[in-house]
Amino acid sequence: MTQIVNIPAWQVELSQAINKLDELLAVLELDPKQLNATWQATTSFPLRVPRGFVARMRKGDATDPLLRQVLPLADELQLTPGFSRDPLQEKQSNPLAGLIHKYHGRVLLTAVGTCSINCRYCFRRHFPYSANNPGKAGWDKVIEYIAADSSIKEVILSGGDPLVANDDYLQALCQKIAAISHVTTLRIHSRMPIVLPARITDSLVTMLKSLSLNLVVVTHCNHANEVDSTVESALAKLKTAGITLLNQAVLLKGINDKAEVLVALSERLFKQGVLPYYLHVLDKVQGTAHFEVEVNTALTLMKALQEKLPGYLEPKLVREEPGQPHKVLVK
């Protein structure tokens, strides 16, 4: 028998993520005939969901808000006017493979081209990750680009999900970033503390703490049900290490488009030391129109949040607009 040695538990869990629709529905005791789900939607954007995240879904409930985020539906195959493959036109801000430079003072690195979960509403579901994998020589060019522009104070590791990378890869990249004297802040955008919390290992946290940089981790959590005791432990490790924790969510029809759901999300995250940061209106990516919430509905929700939450627990309602020098407040 082959023995698996020295593979971190989180990587084993990642490799065992559910990627077959039949299996997902069987685990959740759902009858495929009751659903509009289809494997055909997974040919261009595969199904992927960690088992620990599935364990937080309600069995027998086709409307479960966690399930709806990952369930491939026939609606994805509809072509919707006004929706496109690259609504943010990120190609225009992609001077080097692996680097997106849209906003003053910060750059974003697509450090890894995959995620531990595939969210069906993903704004980068059609992003050309394979063309954006710079390889070792390419990363050196990215580092040279940052080093040559002293206006860049912050580097954002994104993806995909940067924490899918192993510790050695991350350490090498982070140390090169930390060695650039004008870079003061490293921000990591990751859904892994929420969907695969075992990724937040002591060794990862120790490595991050060793960097002489301000550290910010922006989680991505859309519903309070996503937070269980395993997520609490992961967030506590990051918090104890002195890392600033923020959350961004996407406003999604049928998932979190109710005031009480958004209030519960902010309160649940704050209990774990995470402040709400952005609530994104959906980027108009082809295949995601069924998640769209009308702007008027979104504004009504924000008014309700204002009445029910202290200001520091209200996320900013934003959208990205191509060519704008910052995210745009929706009001």
Query: Could you tell me which of 50, 41, 37 has the C-alpha nearest to residue 11?
Result: 50
C-alpha–C-alpha distance, residues 186 and 211, integer Å: 9
Distance CA 146, CA 53 (A): 36
Shortest approach of ligand SF4 to residue 124 CB, angstroms?
5
Compare residues 154 and 161 and give the one whose CB is closer to ligand SF4. Answer: 161
Q: Give the number of other CB atoms < 10 A from CB of residue 306.
A: 11
Alpha helix ranges (H) inside the chain: 9-15, 21-27, 51-54, 67-70, 135-147, 167-178, 192-195, 202-209, 229-240, 259-271, 295-308
Nearer to ligand SF4, 177 or 218 (CB): 218
For residue 160, cis peptide bond before it (omega within 30 degrees of 0): yes
Binding mask 60-99 for ligand SF4 (x = CB under 6 A): ----------------------------------------
Between residues 69 and 230, which has the closer beta carbon with respect to ligand SF4?
Answer: 69
User: Is 115 an interacting residue with respect to ligand SF4 (CB under 6 A)?
Assistant: yes
Q: Residue 254: left (phi > 0), alpha (psi -120 to 50), or beta?
A: left
Does residue 163 bind ligand SF4 (CB under 6 A)? no
The residue (of 68 and 183) whose beta carbon lies closer to ligand SF4 is 68
- Identify which range of 103-111, 114-122, 165-173, 284-292 contacts ligand SF4 by CB under 6 A: 114-122
Interaction between residue 56 and ligand SF4 (CB under 6 A): no
Q: Does position 220 bind ligand SF4 by CB under 6 A?
A: yes
Q: How far, rounded to the nearest angstrom, does the alpha carbon of residue 94 sit from its chain's CA centroid?
A: 20
CB of 109 to ligand SF4, least distance (A): 13
Q: Collapsing DSSP states into helix, strand and coil, what is residue 143?
A: helix
The closest of 97, 96, 41 to 70, measured between CA atoms, is 41
Q: Which run of H or E residues covers position 258?
A: none
Contact status: 223 vs ligand SF4 (CB under 6 A):
no
Residues in contact with ligand SF4, total (CB under 6 A)?
11
Per-residue x/- track, 123-162, ligand SF4 (CB under 6 A): -x----------------------------------xxx-
**Sheet containing 214-220, strands listed edge to edge, beginning at the edge strand earlier in sequence:** 99-100, 106-110, 154-158, 185-189, 214-220, 244-250, 275-280, 316-319, 328-329
**111 counts as binding ligand SF4 under rule CB under 6 A:** no
Site string for ligand SF4, 170-209 (x = CB under 6 A): ---------------------x------------------
Part of the chain binding ligand SF4 (CB under 6 A), chosen from 7-15, 30-38, 73-81, 119-127 = 119-127
Which helix (H) or strand (E) element contains residue 8? none
Using the rule CB under 6 A, is 122 a contact of ligand SF4? yes
Least CB distance from residue 221 to ligand SF4, whole Å?
11
- Residues lying near ligand SF4 in the complex (CB under 6 A) are found at 115, 117-119, 122, 124, 159-161, 191, 220
